[in-house]
Amino acid sequence: MKEVNILTRKDGSQVKIVAALFTGRGLALSIGNDVFHRKDVNCQWRLCGDRPTHVVPWSVDGYIKHGRPEMFRVASHGEILKTNSVLMSRVRMEANPS
């Protein structure tokens, strides 16, 4: 099961957040996130990296400005968590239909 959230920014660029549900051993649920970005609707989607950029010297300010993973530079934590929340709401609805 997946939830896809496409956000259009003021500059015309778009961010696509994909939350995918996974089950592990013992039926434990986990969510994986991918973030894609494109400059405008005519461009191809590009997967954003999830690894921090190496910053020398390591400092909080340097990390915030240059070191954060690309996915967190184009999408906020809140936008990603909102997508996850919508996915989990769907899971709960399917598990407990009214």
DSSP for 30-52?
A: EEEEEEEEESSTTSPPEEPP-SP
What is the pLDDT averaged over residues 8-34? 90
Above 90 in pLDDT, residue 27? Answer: no
The percentage of the chain sitting over the pLDDT mark of 90, rounded to a whole number, equals: 62
Quote the DSSP letter at residue 65: I
The CA distance from 31 to 16, in Å, is 16
Above 90 in pLDDT, residue 4? Answer: yes
Q: What is the Cα Rg of the chain in Å?
A: 16
Q: What is the pLDDT of residue 98?
A: 66
Q: What is the pLDDT of residue 38?
A: 97
What is the pLDDT averaged over residues 48-55? 84
C-beta of residue 33 within 8 angstroms of C-beta of residue 48: no
